């Protein structure tokens, strides 16, 4: 059992009007999204992992190393935890140049540098900014430098607190590709706080859903996003994330076919070359159900699927139906009227009609 390779965390924080009480097991690799609405405790949890929350009580075992165990009076201060932290707003030292900001943490790390400075600089594309002062950088550039500065310490755990929240859409799309590269190239676990479903769907491998200081659900991205038993706060935006491969381009109709286990969908022509991996989201409200393969419809994406379970949706008039399309989960949001008239019950074979897919990236 790879028990030692995981991160075990148990934290309690009690403030007037807010309680955090979580117990977590995070995988030792990949990106874990701490996902929830504002006030759900996700940033507090991240700060607990970093040792920045002085009033937290709990324990933290990082891949077999005890970082905190308040019952035994053990608590490593933040500067003795081998982690990188990217704050929500850019947090560069204003009195130091970009280069000296990058050096600040790096020269305080003893031993081997698993991530070279050159690699961090290249990964974030900030080579041309090294001699600038932070106030001469754009918001997006500052955040890229902050990420590179955290990476340059060769952290064993990277914590990111909504690194895109303070940026406008254009800056966000400027940074997201860099974050995706981190995901692909880094061997270390990353905890990524976000309240934006599309960001989570694009970057995460695992999800921890938080609500009012409690863990509501945790697990792999696809399974967790496809769960129906979550509070309505999450189901109003219900949907699934599917990872697919660019399989074919149709130049006549300007379309691209994306294949995934259990089927394929056709979307408007993409720039990506064949074989590239792409993630897309299918919102439950964009999926309808039919008893037979529909003829004479404008909807091109039709998938055979088996009904797995039915659950309440955000309104009494609707239900959420979880489907299995040859291994790929789907969720459809249909009316209770249709549920009864089509006789939708677990085990029934149906056709899922997908009106729209949201490509991430």
Using the minimum distance from each CB to other proteins, give the nearer residue, 52 or 196: 52
Report the largest interatomic distance among the alpha carbons of the chain, rounded to a whole angstrom.
70
62: its two tokens? 């990082």
Name the segment binding other proteins (CB under 8 A); options: 47-55, 115-123, 273-281, 300-308: 47-55
Tell me how crowded residue 134 is: count the other CB atoms within 10 A of its CB. Answer: 20
Asked if residue 356 binds other proteins (CB under 8 A), the reply is no
Instruction: Look at residues 169, 165, 164 and name the one whose alpha carbon lies nearest to residue 144.
Output: 164
Asked if residue 35 binds other proteins (CB under 8 A), the reply is no
Name 133's bridge partners: none
Asked if residue 150 binds other proteins (CB under 8 A), the reply is yes
Shortest spacing between CB 109 and other proteins, in angstroms: 6
Give the chain's length.
Answer: 361
Which helix (H) or strand (E) segment is 301 a member of? strand 301-312
Using the minimum distance from each CB to other proteins, give the nearer residue, 66 or 109: 109
Asked if residue 142 binds other proteins (CB under 8 A), the reply is yes
Shortest spacing between CB 124 and other proteins, in angstroms: 16
Q: What is the x/- site pattern for other proteins, positions 164-193, by CB under 8 A? A: ------------------------------
Cα Rg of the chain (Å, integer): 23
Instruction: Look at residues 259, 256, 292 and name the one whose alpha carbon lies nearest to residue 272.
Output: 256
In eight-state DSSP terms, residue 189 is: -
Using the minimum distance from each CB to other proteins, give the nearer residue, 142 or 195: 142
Cβ partners under 8 Å of residue 101, min gap 6: 92, 93, 134, 145, 149
Q: How far apart are CA 75 and CA 95, in angstroms?
A: 31
Asked if residue 54 binds other proteins (CB under 8 A), the reply is no
247: its two tokens? 């399989």
Task: Establish how many alpha carbons lie within 13 A of residue 340's alpha carbon, considering only the half-sphere containing its beta carbon.
Answer: 4
Asked if residue 311 binds other proteins (CB under 8 A), the reply is no
Using the minimum distance from each CB to other proteins, give the nearer residue, 159 or 330: 159
Q: In the range 73-102, which residues lie near other proteins by CB under 8 A?
A: 77-80, 83-85, 87, 90-95
Asked if residue 215 binds other proteins (CB under 8 A), the reply is no
Q: In the range 262-291, which residues lie near other proteins by CB under 8 A?
A: none
> Are the C-beta atoms of residues 345 and 253 closer than 8 Å to each other?
no
String of DSSP letters for 23-79 = EEEE-SSSEEEEE--TTSSHHHHHHHHHT--TT-EEEEEETTEEEEEGGGTEE--GG
Q: What is the x/- site pattern for other proteins, positions 110-129, by CB under 8 A? A: --------------------
Shortest spacing between CB 312 and other proteins, in angstroms: 42
Using the minimum distance from each CB to other proteins, give the nearer residue, 111 or 327: 111
Q: What is the x/- site pattern for other proteins, positions 225-244, by CB under 8 A? A: --------------------
Please pick, from the candidates 30, 58, 105, 197, the single residue that binds other proteins as defined by CB under 8 A.
105
Please pick, from the candidates 144, 149, 171, 281, the single residue that binds other proteins as defined by CB under 8 A.
149
Tell me how crowded residue 274 is: count the other CB atoms within 10 A of its CB. Answer: 11
Asked if residue 153 binds other proteins (CB under 8 A), the reply is yes
Q: What is the binding site for other proteins (CB under 8 A)?
A: 50-52, 77-80, 83-85, 87, 90-95, 104-105, 108-109, 134-135, 142, 149-150, 153
């Amino acid at each position: 059992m790879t028990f030692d390779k995981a991160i075990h965390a148990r934290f309690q924080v009690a403030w007037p009007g807010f309680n955090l009480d979580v117990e977590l097991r995070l995988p030792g690799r990949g990106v874990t999204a701490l996902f929830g609405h504002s006030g759900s405790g996700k940033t507090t949890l991240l700060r607990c992992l970093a040792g920045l929350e002085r009033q937290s009580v709990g324990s933290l075992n990082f891949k077999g190393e005890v970082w905190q165990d308040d019952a035994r009076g053990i608590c490593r201060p933040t500067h003795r935890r081998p982690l990188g932290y990217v704050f929500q707003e850019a947090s560069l030292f204003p009195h130091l140049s970009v280069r000296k900001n990058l050096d600040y943490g790096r020269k305080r790390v003893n031993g081997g540098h698993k991530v070279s400075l050159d690699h961090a600089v290249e990964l974030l594309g900030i080579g041309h900014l090294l001699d600038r002062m932070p106030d001469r950088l754009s918001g997006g550039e500052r955040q890229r430098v902050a990420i590179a500065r955290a990476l340059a310490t060769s952290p064993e755990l990277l914590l990111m607190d909504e690194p895109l929240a303070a940026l406008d859409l254009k800056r966000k799309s400027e940074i997201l590709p860099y974050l995706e590269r981190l995901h692909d190239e880094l061997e270390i676990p990353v905890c990524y706080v976000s309240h934006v479903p599309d960001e989570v769907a694009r970057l995460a491998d695992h999800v921890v859903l938080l609500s009012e200081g409690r863990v509501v659900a945790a697990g792999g991205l696809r399974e967790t996003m496809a769960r129906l038993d979550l509070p309505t706060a999450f189901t109003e935006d219900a949907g699934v994330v599917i990872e697919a491969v660019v399989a074919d381009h149709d130049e006549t109709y300007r379309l691209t076919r994306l294949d995934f286990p259990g089927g394929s969908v056709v979307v408007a022509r993409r720039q990506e070359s064949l074989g590239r991996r792409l993630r897309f989201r299918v919102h439950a409200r964009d999926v309808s159900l039919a008893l037979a393969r529909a003829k004479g419809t404008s909807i091109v994406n039709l998938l055979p699927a088996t009904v797995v379970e039915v659950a309440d949706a955000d309104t009494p008039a609707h239900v959420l139906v979880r489907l299995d399309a040859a291994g790929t989960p789907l969720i459809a949001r249909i009316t209770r009227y249709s549920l009864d008239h089509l006789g939708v019950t677990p085990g029934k074979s149906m056709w899922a009609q997908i009106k729209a897919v949201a490509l991430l990236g």
